[in-house]
């Protein structure tokens, strides 16, 4: 039920083709790293998967249905996109409270996720005064509200301090170990090699590598070497 | 219902909504108090016999700026982009991952705006009529059964104005332009009123037609519109714009 299946996704904006047939899967119990340089189409793919943007053709499914038809979206998928995803004039707690209300979750969950991401002390401050790292933690808290089976995270380590990066790596490994599905995008290779099980690399809207970490790394030595070899077209 | 509860919670926790509330109550009651004071002076000097049947109502047509702000910020707040240093996110992505059905989301938000608009109209109506009565004292026109449909008209006018502002902002995705245009049209120069000088058809624009629900005498009014017709015309405008907004919103990328 909790496999993510992307099948032949094409997205055109005007005459520009942003995605040219992206296909891959993210499976339960594994952390899937969705990698590519900036502008390769990672965010576009995730936005289509979350029903925010419309694909020109192709499908993106959570289990067997598109995201928009999930009966209880917050309890199925936790999503983290750009920044905090919150209005700057609200407090962190007020933001989480309206999200919790939309899914009929108890107020207690708000305090629990604030605790998990370490924002309890900043919960009564306006989001406009948060640092980038705090905003990202708030976005992660929002994703965790419904204790979802799937996490979809766009550039989760961006803006986090070294402590935060270390923490999120451990956290995501634990989620996968408990049988949940984790899909995360990144353009930072070094941070990811120790976190992911499976790797999908895209370049200019096409998948250029898809497999386990070992398969994709292959003879390149490190994931970083493999990434540059595959995405810059230079010598392997 | 959950989606509606979330939208109400959003409105209540947004500071600009409280500014809208303050404007909605203070603008009409304040202006009504000043006008009532002028009318009282005129009556005691013997310059006029009564305060006029529109005292309070004219001001409530003005006070609609409060719900215009409400309707605009309810949706523009979804599209405010964080600074690049904060990651450049927008709340709309969070909203639509929490409530993925575009239509359900928009319906919940419009309902929250309508409920808030009606509540604000009731409070502002009470405050404005009280201000008139406090200032005029014995010279105040008595409130009778005649005023019930007129005050209901005020509530209807405010709810429609809030939803019109909301629908326009769904289309623009940005609050500044609709806010400036709609507030200027209500308070500074009524473009719709000036248009009536060119064509009588302009009397059927939503703000002018809708005001016939509760304002009795129009300066230089060129067309007779009954309160019921006025209400129906404004409701039709509101429904049409909400429909256009819903079609655009469900089709485009968030």
> How many C-beta atoms lie closer than 10 Å to residue A215's C-beta?
12
Going from the C-alpha of A145 to that of each of A148, A182, B182, the distances in angstroms are 8, 16, 39
Chain A residues with CB within 8 Å of chain B CB = 47, 50-54, 67-70, 73-74, 77, 79, 81-91, 94-95, 97-99, 101-104, 130, 132, 135-136, 139, 142, 158-159
Q: Which of A42-51, A152-161, B38-47, B218-227 has the lowest mean pLDDT?
A: B218-227
CATH of domain A4-232: 3.40.50.300
Q: Do A84 and B89 touch (CB under 8 A)?
A: yes
Whether A148 shows a pLDDT value over 70: the answer reads yes
| Residue-level pLDDT at B219 | 67
| Residue-level pLDDT at B220 | 60
Closest by CA position to A168, among listed A150, A147, A195: A195
Q: Do B87 and A82 touch (CB under 8 A)?
A: yes
Q: Confidence band (pLDDT; 50, 70, 90) for A164?
A: confident
Dihedral (Cα; B91, B94, B98, B102), 10-degree rounding: 60
Q: Please, are residues A148 and A78 in contact by the beta-carbon 8 Å criterion? A: yes
| Residue-level pLDDT at A233 | 64
Beta bridge partners of A206: A203
Average pLDDT of chain B is 93
| Residue-level pLDDT at A236 | 42
- What's the 3-state SS for chain B? CHHHHHHHHHHHCCHHHHHHHHHHHHHHHHHHHHHHHHHHHHHHHCCCCCCCCCCCHHHHHHCCHHHHHHHHHHHHHHHCECCHHHCCCEHHHHHHHHCCCHHHHHHHHHHHHHHHHHHHHHHHHHHHHHHHHHHHHHHCCCCCCCHHHHHHHHHHHHHHHHHHHHHHHHHHCCCHHHHHHHHHHHHCCCHHHHHHCCCHHHHHCHHHHHHCCCCCCCCCCCCCCCHHHHHHHHHHHHHHHHHHHHHHHHHCCC
Closest by CA position to B212, among listed B61, B64, B63: B61
- As a whole number, mean pLDDT of residues B189-218 equals 88
Q: Confidence band (pLDDT; 50, 70, 90) for B228?
A: very high
Q: Do A54 and B253 touch (CB under 8 A)?
A: yes
Q: Which of B3-17, B74-88, B206-220 has the lowest mean pLDDT?
A: B206-220
pLDDT digits (tens, 9 = 90+) for A173-195: 999 999 999 999 998 777 778 89
| Residue-level pLDDT at A210 | 95
d(CA A35, CA A46): 12
d(CA A231, CA A225): 10
Whether B247 shows a pLDDT value over 50: the answer reads yes
Out of B77, B91, B100, the one facing A68 most closely (by C-beta) is B100
Residue linked to tokens 């990202």: A136
- What's the 3-state SS for chain A? CCCEEEEEEEEEECCEEEEEEEEEEECCCCEEEEECCCCCCHHHHHHHHCCCCCCCEEEEEECCECHHHCCCHHHHEEEECCCCCCCCCCEHHHHHHHHHHHCCCCHHHHHHHHHHHCCHHHCCCEHHHCCHHHHHHHHHHHHHCCCCCEEEEECCCCCCCHHHHHHHHHHHHHHHHCCCEEEEEECCCCCCCCCCCEEEEEECCEEEEEEEHHHHHHHHCCHHHHHHHHHHCCCC
This complex has an ipTM of 0.93
Q: Do A99 and B6 touch (CB under 8 A)?
A: yes
> How many C-beta atoms lie closer than 10 Å to residue B26's C-beta?
14
Percent above pLDDT 70 for chain A: 98
Q: Which of A67-76, B4-13, B84-93, B150-159 has the lowest mean pLDDT?
A: B84-93
Q: Confidence band (pLDDT; 50, 70, 90) for A235?
A: very low
Q: Do B13 and A90 touch (CB under 8 A)?
A: yes
- As a whole number, mean pLDDT of residues B209-237 equals 88
Q: Do B100 and A73 touch (CB under 8 A)?
A: yes
Residue B6: phi, psi to the nearest 5? Answer: -65, -40
Residue A119: phi, psi to the nearest 5? Answer: -115, 10
d(CA B36, CA B42): 10
d(CA B17, CA B122): 16
Q: Please, are residues B204 and B43 in contact by the beta-carbon 8 Å criterion? A: no
- Contact list, B76 vs chain A (CB under 8 Å): none
Q: Which long-range contacts (CB under 8 A, 24 or more apart) does A211-220 make?
A: A213/A33, A217/A193
A58 vs chain B: nearest CA distance in angstroms? 16
- Contact list, A104 vs chain B (CB under 8 Å): 2
d(CA A136, CA A117): 10
Q: Is B3 on the interface with A (CB under 8 A)?
A: yes
Beta bridge partners of A33: A184, A199
Extract the tokens encoding B54.
């529109």
Q: Do A102 and B100 touch (CB under 8 A)?
A: no
Burial class (CB in 10 A: 0-12, 13-18, 19+), A121: exposed
Percent above pLDDT 90 for chain A: 81
Whether A67 shows a pLDDT value over 80: the answer reads yes
Instruction: Domain ranges for chain A, please list them.
Output: 4-232
> How many C-beta atoms lie closer than 10 Å to residue A11's C-beta?
23
Nearest C-alpha in A relative to B17: A89
> How many C-beta atoms lie closer than 10 Å to residue B125's C-beta?
25
Q: Do B253 and A53 touch (CB under 8 A)?
A: yes
- What's the 3-state SS for B106-147? HHHHHHHHHHHHHHHHHHHHHHHHHHHHHHHHHHCCCCCCCH
Whether A98 shows a pLDDT value over 80: the answer reads yes
Q: Is B10 on the interface with A (CB under 8 A)?
A: yes
A136 vs chain B: nearest CA distance in angstroms? 8
Whether A160 shows a pLDDT value over 90: the answer reads no
């Amino acid at each position: 039920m909790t496999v993510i299946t992307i099948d032949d996704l094409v997205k055109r904006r005007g005459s520009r083709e942003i995605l040219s047939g992206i296909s891959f899967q993210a499976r339960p119990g594994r952390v899937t790293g969705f990698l590519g340089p900036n502008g390769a189409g990672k965010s576009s793919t995730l936005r289509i998967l979350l029903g925010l943007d419309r694909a020109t053709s192709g499908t993106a499914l959570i289990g067997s249905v598109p995201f928009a038809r999930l009966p209880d979206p917050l309890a199925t998928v936790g999503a983290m996109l750009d920044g905090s995803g919150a209005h700057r004039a609200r407090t962190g707690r007020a933001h989480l409270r309206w999200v919790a209300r939309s899914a009929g979750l108890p107020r207690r969950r708000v305090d629990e996720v604030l605790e998990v991401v370490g924002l309890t002390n900043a919960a009564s401050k306006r989001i406009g005064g948060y640092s980038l790292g705090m905003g990202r933690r708030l976005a992660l808290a929002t994703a965790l509200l419904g204790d979802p089976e799937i996490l979809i995270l766009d550039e989760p380590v961006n803006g986090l301090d070294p402590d935060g990066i270390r923490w999120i790596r451990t956290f995501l490994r634990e989620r996968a170990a408990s049988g949940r599905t984790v899909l995360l995008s990144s353009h930072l290779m070094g941070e990811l090699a120790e976190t992911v099980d499976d790797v999908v690399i895209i370049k200019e809207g096409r998948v250029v590598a898809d497999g386990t970490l070992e398969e994709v790394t292959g003879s390149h030595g490190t994931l970083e070497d493999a990434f540059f070899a595959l995405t810059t077209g230079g010598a392997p | 219902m959950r989606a509606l509860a979330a939208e109400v919670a959003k409105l209540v926790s947004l500071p600009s909504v409280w500014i809208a509330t303050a404007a909605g109550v203070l603008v009409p009651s304040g202006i009504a108090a000043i006008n009532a004071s002028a009318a009282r002076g005129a009556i005691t000097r013997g310059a006029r016999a009564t305060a006029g049947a529109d005292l309070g109502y004219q001001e409530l047509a003005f006070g609609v700026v409060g719900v215009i702000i409400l309707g605009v910020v309810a949706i523009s707040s979804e599209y405010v982009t964080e600074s690049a240093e904060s990651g450049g996110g927008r709340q709309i992505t969070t909203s639509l991952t929490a409530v993925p059905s575009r239509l359900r989301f928009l319906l919940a938000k419009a309902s929250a705006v309508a409920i808030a608009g009606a509540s604000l109209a009731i409070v502002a109506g009470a405050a404005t009529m009280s201000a008139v009565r406090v200032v005029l004292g014995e010279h105040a026109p008595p409130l009778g059964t005649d005023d019930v449909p007129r005050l209901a008209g005020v509530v209807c006018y405010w709810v429609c104005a809030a939803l019109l502002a909301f629908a326009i902002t769904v289309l623009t995705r940005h609050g500044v332009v609709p806010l400036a245009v709609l507030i200027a049209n209500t308070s500074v120069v009524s473009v719709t009123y000036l248009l009536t000088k060119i064509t009588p058809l302009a009397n059927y624009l939503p703000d002018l037609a809708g005001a016939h629900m509760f304002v009795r005498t129009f300066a230089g009014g060129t067309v007779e519109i009954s309160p019921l017709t006025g209400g129906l015309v404004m409701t039709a405008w509101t429904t049409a714009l909400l429909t256009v907004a819903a079609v655009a919103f469900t089709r485009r990328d968030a």
